[in-house]
Structure 1
Amino acid sequence: MLNFLKQARRFVNSAEPICIVLGNESCDLDSAVCAVTLAYHYQQQNDVSNNQITRNFLPVLNIPRRDYTLKTEVNYIFRQHAIGDEHLTFRDDLQEDLLTRSEFILVDHHVSPFTTRCLEVFDHRIFDEQAQLSNVCQLHIELVGSCATLIAEEILKSISMPDAVAKDYETLFTLLRSTIVLDTVNFSASANRATPKDIEICAKLEELLSKLSNGKPLSERTKLFDILVAARADISSLTSMQLLRKDLKILSNGNGSVNIAIPGFPMLVQQFIERTDAATAVKAFAEETNSVIVILMGMLVKNGNVQRDIGLIDFKSKQLCQTIRETLLTTTEPALGLQHYENCNFLNGSLYKICNIKATRKHVLPLVKQLLDRMQ
């Protein structure tokens, strides 16, 4: 894996045909691992293939290089395999001419400026009819707990597993297994993120890893999950502005004139707004991202239990913010179960506990996007 990443870096300045395997712009563990593992697998398949159409595959983390330090759980798990930022390729490493002549595979998202040149999609979100994917694009879209499950399924069904081949895939299997465990909240019944396919694929990965470990036991799931949650929540060195960029989604209307920023925190919004510089940071963040509304979303995992909350802060679009608030309060697909926090006066916004802990940002995003798309 490490050698592949080092070799792939040369494609950044190459005139060869390139297929970019691109994660989403939040660059969480699922997105980063899916991009790296699928690109590695396809390059291995390409190298042994007799197919006349040859492509080189370049995994790209869809964030500026400066923001990699914010992705604490991604940093942690890659470091466990001696993968540093110098081995990785980031969005701002790529020149415009490379982007215009490249083909794409999208992982962990399917709405992108590059959909017209997209060959394949792997995603675990509800399909967005506005995606504008090309007719030749292969779709692997399924509502599972982790996109890593879909990547692992594709890899497992498309390669034979003699010991020599499987050994080369040990790092890949480990990365995918860790991601599935984290994304499904360690298959927690209360979180209800795991599907039968997540359970099945994770078990297959563990079976293969056990064979490859020469009798050494795998890290127990609960221990692995706790380590990854701690790594994700290790925000001790991050400023409030960095926290706002750590796990960020930005939605825009059709012509890009209206932006709504939706940062996610590995802590509750209640805790974030208690920081002394929180208000100053959110104002500067709204200006930097040119956002008319900022929707803060928090999640705290403690002792296997999940808590979620959400805050809506209007900067330049009072009516739209009110419409979003009413939509989130009344939606039934799913019902968020919002419970208003009284006596909260953070930037004149509204803060709510999300009583339905199964409702995530993936459920909020399409609701907000639909409202944006209806704007004149």
Structure 2
Amino acid sequence: MEDYLQGCRAALQEFRPLHVVLGNEACDLDSMVSALALAFYLAKVSPYDAALEEAVVEVLDHRPMEQKHCPPCHVCVELVGSCATLVTERILQGAPEILDGQTAALLHGTIILDCVNMDVKVGKATPKDSKYVEKLEALFPDLPKRNDIFDSLQKAKFDVSGLTTEQMLRKDQKTIFRQGTKVAISAIYMDLEAFLQRSGLIADLHAFCQAHSCDVLVTMTIFFNTHNEPVRQLAIFCPHAALRMTICGVLERSHSPSLKLTPAPSAHPHLQAYLQGNTQISRKKLLPLLQEALSAYFESMRIPSGQLETEGVCREQADRELDRAGNSLFPGLSQDEEEPPLPPTPMNSLVDECPLDQGLPKLSAEAIFEKCSQISQSQSATASLSTK
């Protein structure tokens, strides 16, 4: 592994053609080690099929694909506790002889950290995670004890000293986006009470939402108590009261899964805090509930049927007035040629990345030219009749 890493540095300095294996931008241990070990494996395997490498792209992940359509390549997605488990499986099945002690230690420690020391009560470790941890331990008996490596890595993972609030929120962040509304979900590795007491917190949260065009910021705090038991807490920050209340209501009432939320005191009017009784619900399992909450919010924003009828009468009267005004200006245009009404401006249309043109009538250059030609012909005909 050490020789391989030195070779990577040399390749970069010599500007040689190369392939890059990337994890996600959070650069957590699992992402970093999985990318590193997979790149090491790919560099060591026999290049007998090198002629095909330009046409082969692969996705290896342990989480469901969020895209509706899979990319046009081989996708391997298996729901295990750590992606490092899948990389270990790939190496041991494909070229076990290239696995050295250093790479094994990286993979072994990452799986143990991701699976919370293989604790059955936490529920993150799958049978496959346990299988490959045991295989690594059998192949390399000198690997550190599980408790020792877990405590060491856990301490490093939860060390947020020196980080600003913005850095803590960006360190491990996921986002969802629906109908112009963006929700950010950040993992914070400290007690929620201590986090809420940070100096200038609300101003920092406002600044973060503005900088990243977020309407809602959900933080899930994670830490371990004195009995080494995981503790999860939630905070929902959102200046829009109706949206915040809808999200909180969906999370509080959820039974599948049940978060077992208990409201916690908060002095900030735009922030609702909770103690999360069900510690097995991670952010990954929280995402579908947030999607459901957004759907419920947009459903509640629809106009009731009775109100729609009243507004429809007013709109028809206004349309008739506009028709008369338009026909007096351009008598050649028929009602069939009228443009459809524009939709209302979205709630958060003033933030960046908002697709304001969604739902607007699509105009091509040909359609505009044809419309102008009709107007010109209509005006010419009217002028000709007036002259006669």
User: Is TM > 0.5 for Structure 1 vs Structure 2?
Assistant: yes
User: Is 2:245 the counterpart of 1:247?
Assistant: no
Measured in 2, the distance between the counterparts of 1:181 and 1:307 equals 18
Identify the residue that residue 42 of structure 2 maps to in structure 1: 42
Select 1:306's aligned residue among 202, 213, 230. 230
Task: Tell me which amino acid in the other structure corresponds to 2:231.
Answer: Q
Does structure 2 conserve the Cα–Cα contact (< 8 Å) formed by 1:25 and 1:249? no
Shift of 1:131: 4.0
User: Is 2:266 the counterpart of 1:344?
Assistant: yes
3-state DSSP of counterpart to 2:118: coil
Shift of 1:324: 2.4
User: Rg: which structure is higher?
Assistant: 2
State the number of aligned residues: 296
Identify the residue that residue 307 of structure 2 maps to in structure 1: none
1:159-178 alignment runs, 5 A limit: 159-161=95-97, 165-166=98-99, 169-178=100-109
1:1-376 alignment runs, 5 A limit: 1-8=1-8, 10=11, 16=17, 19-45=19-45, 48-53=46-51, 55=53, 119-128=57-66, 130-135=67-72, 137-161=73-97, 165-166=98-99, 169-210=100-141, 217-253=142-178, 257-302=180-225, 303-315=227-239, 317-341=240-264, 343-369=265-291
Does structure 1 conserve the Cα–Cα contact (< 8 Å) formed by 2:247 and 2:294? no
Shift of 1:310: 0.6
Measured in 1, the distance between the counterparts of 2:295 and 2:155 equals 37
Does structure 2 conserve the Cα–Cα contact (< 8 Å) formed by 1:241 and 1:285? yes
Does structure 2 conserve the Cα–Cα contact (< 8 Å) formed by 1:240 and 1:277? no
Instruction: Answer 1 or 2: higher relative contact order, Cα 8 Å, separation at least 6.
Output: 1
TM-score normalised over the length of structure 1: 0.71
3-state DSSP of counterpart to 1:279: helix
Could you say if the C-alpha distance between residues 331 and 119 of structure 1 is closer, same or farther in structure 2, counting changes exceeding 3 Å? farther
3-state DSSP of counterpart to 1:43: helix
3-state DSSP of counterpart to 2:163: coil
Shift of 1:278: 2.0
Task: Tell me which amino acid in the other structure corresponds to 2:207.
Answer: A
Q: Can you list the C-alpha shifts for 1:54-113, whole angstroms capped at 9, x where unaligned?
A: 65xxxxxxxxxxxxxxxxxxxxxxxxxxxxxxxxxxxxxxxxxxxxxx98xxxxxxxxxx
Could you say if the C-alpha distance between residues 134 and 11 of structure 1 is closer, same or farther in structure 2, counting changes exceeding 3 Å? farther
Could you say if the C-alpha distance between residues 332 and 125 of structure 1 is closer, same or farther in structure 2, counting changes exceeding 3 Å? farther
Does structure 2 conserve the Cα–Cα contact (< 8 Å) formed by 1:188 and 1:304? no
Could you say if the C-alpha distance between residues 267 and 319 of structure 1 is closer, same or farther in structure 2, counting changes exceeding 3 Å? same
3-state DSSP of counterpart to 1:50: helix
Measured in 1, the distance between the counterparts of 2:295 and 2:16 equals 38
Does structure 2 conserve the Cα–Cα contact (< 8 Å) formed by 1:26 and 1:246? yes
Does structure 2 conserve the Cα–Cα contact (< 8 Å) formed by 1:121 and 1:140? yes
Q: CA RMSD in A?
A: 2.6
Higher-strand-fraction structure: 1
Measured in 2, the distance between the counterparts of 1:347 and 1:241 equals 20
Does structure 1 conserve the Cα–Cα contact (< 8 Å) formed by 2:250 and 2:293? no
3-state DSSP of counterpart to 2:198: coil
3-state DSSP of counterpart to 1:275: coil
Higher-helix-fraction structure: 2
Could you say if the C-alpha distance between residues 52 and 276 of structure 1 is closer, same or farther in structure 2, counting changes exceeding 3 Å? closer
3-state DSSP of counterpart to 1:53: helix
Shift of 1:293: 0.8
Measured in 2, the distance between the counterparts of 1:159 and 1:185 equals 28
Measured in 2, the distance between the counterparts of 1:230 and 1:248 equals 20
Does structure 2 conserve the Cα–Cα contact (< 8 Å) formed by 1:313 and 1:347? no
Q: Can you list the C-alpha shifts for 1:12-61, whole angstroms capped at 9, x where unaligned?
A: 99573x5442222332111111111111111211xx22114265xxxxxx
Task: Tell me which amino acid in the other structure corresponds to 2:213.
Answer: N
Could you say if the C-alpha distance between residues 33 and 370 of structure 1 is closer, same or farther in structure 2, counting changes exceeding 3 Å? farther
Provide structure 1 residue ranges, at least 5 long, that are not aligned to the other structure: 56-101, 104-117, 211-216
Measured in 1, the distance between the counterparts of 2:19 and 2:70 equals 16
Does structure 2 conserve the Cα–Cα contact (< 8 Å) formed by 1:21 and 1:39? yes
Identify the residue that residue 70 of structure 1 maps to in structure 2: none
Measured in 1, the distance between the counterparts of 2:120 and 2:230 equals 11
